[in-house]
Every structure is written in structure tokens, then in C-alpha cells.
Amino acid sequence: MKVLFATQGKYGERIADYIAANRPEGWEILRLPLRRGLPMVIDDPDEVLPAVIPPADLLVSLHESSGAAELIPDIAQRCGAAAVLAAVDDRAACPRGLENQIGKRLGAMGVAFAFARPLCGFDGGPHPLLSAFAERFGRPRMRIDADGDRVGLVTVERDCPCGAGRFVAKVLPGTRLSEAADTGALRHHHHPCMASMEVDPELSDTLMHLSGYIFRAAINAAIRKG
């Protein structure tokens, strides 16, 4: 599977680097760096996109501005992607209205798509390529072996695209089981988490907090499964 990461700065580059270093056999990681300071409305994509974009099966958009998000369908068309995963770690970079517009364009092109809010909450679908990505890098999933009333061995069964799953797993052993979810949710912010601290009006909460809730749920599920 050829995966093209469209990045616009350190946020996306760090995620692409982590996945490239931990990719499964058979994955080819490609990069498309986009310049910062793109206009909010882009009339001619040729003015901001390179003449040649490498062919890819899956496009992962790690945009940091609405201008970069607007380019998603153009990039997908030029690289020939069958599916697109667009990260929504900052609603300001991809407002709901723009998300709907992008989805309509991709749908008209016959390209499957998913908007992950936040990226670490992605659980796969609606296309096999998206599910294949999420099975390796998506919503965190762990196995926790108890050592009495404390956390013993922690195995990361599915990591996040940013590597926060492994980061949290390293700090949990020795923690009291009753405190593990709180500890993990707090420490995941130290990775650092790049989800926005601005309140998402649809959630009445921040995406960073939502990311913390995702980790809390993953740890509690692992403890219950035991």
C-alpha cells in the first residue's frame, strides 16, 4: 500500500515520520509538503501544488489550515488515491462547512473518505484501505496484565498515528489499577498531543480533551478485559 502524507508543518511531519519508522511490511510512505501561509480560498491549485505528485493508494491529509484542506480533492485526483483520511485535530483548519464541501467533491470523484476528529479516534472504514490504516494506526488499543492491584505488563495492540499509545504504555506499569486511566489520560498530553485546545462547538469541549477521553476509555477497556 502506498500512503501519501500531505503535511504543512511539524505537526504532520512528526506523524508521518513516526508511521514511516513503524510501518508494516508492504507499506510505502510518500510525502507531499505544502507551504505554510496558503490563502483561505485557492482559485488555481496549479499555483500552489507541485507539477508532479507521486501516485498513491491512500492520501492522509495532515493540513494545518483551511487552504491546505481545500486542496484535498485536487491532491487525491492527481495522486490517484482510492481513499482519503483527513485529520481534524483543529476544527479551525477544517470547519464543518468545508468538510462537507470536500466530502461532496471526493464523493463525486468516486473516492472514499473519512474525517477523523481527532486523528487518534479513527477506527476504520468506509474503505478497506482506510480500515487497513486504522488497524495499525488508529484508536489506541492495549492489553494490560495486572500485578496484584497495580499495572504490570502493558502491550500496545494498536498505536495512534502520533505514537502516543506507546508513550502512555511506558508510564503505566507500576500504577495502581484504580488510577491507571487518570494517569494515562494526563500523561498522553505530555507526548505532546497536538489536538486543539479550542472548544469545538459541536462537542462543547476541546479536541485535546476528547483525545484524553479516548485514552481513558482504552485503558479502562484493557483493565476490564484483563
Q: 129 and 145 share a domain?
A: no
Instruction: Taking residues 79-105, report their average pLDDT.
Output: 96
Q: What is the pLDDT of residue 144?
A: 97
Given 136, 158, 192, which residue is the final one in a domain?
136
Residue 226: is its pLDDT beyond 80?
Answer: no
Q: 77 and 108 share a domain?
A: yes
* Tens digit of each residue's pLDDT (9 = 90 or more) over 166-175: 999 999 999 9
The Cα–Cα gap between 206 and 124 comes to 22
Report percent pLDDT > 90 for the chain: 85
Q: 14 and 27 share a domain?
A: yes
The one-letter amino acid at 139: R
Q: What is the pLDDT of residue 43?
A: 86
Q: 23 and 118 share a domain?
A: yes
Q: 151 and 202 share a domain?
A: yes
Q: What is the domain-level CATH number for residue 62?
A: 3.40.50
Query: 73, 9, 74: which is closest to 37 by C-alpha?
Result: 9
Given 136, 166, 183, which residue is the final one in a domain?
136
Q: 39 and 121 share a domain?
A: yes
CA atoms within 13 A on the CB side of 97: 2
Quote the number of domains for the chain: 2
* Tens digit of each residue's pLDDT (9 = 90 or more) over 156-168: 999 999 999 999 9
Q: 50 and 116 share a domain?
A: yes
* Domain, as residue range, for 70: 2-136
* Tens digit of each residue's pLDDT (9 = 90 or more) over 186-213: 888 777 777 889 888 888 999 999 999 9
Q: What is the pLDDT of residue 201?
A: 86
Q: What is the pLDDT of residue 98?
A: 96
Q: 84 and 109 share a domain?
A: yes
Q: What is the pLDDT of residue 191?
A: 78
CA distances from 226 to 66, 144, 168, 219 (A): 43, 6, 17, 10
Q: 149 and 128 share a domain?
A: no
Q: Name the packing angle between helices 207-225 and 180-187 (round to 10°).
A: 150
Q: 29 and 108 share a domain?
A: yes
Residue 120: is its pLDDT beyond 90?
Answer: yes
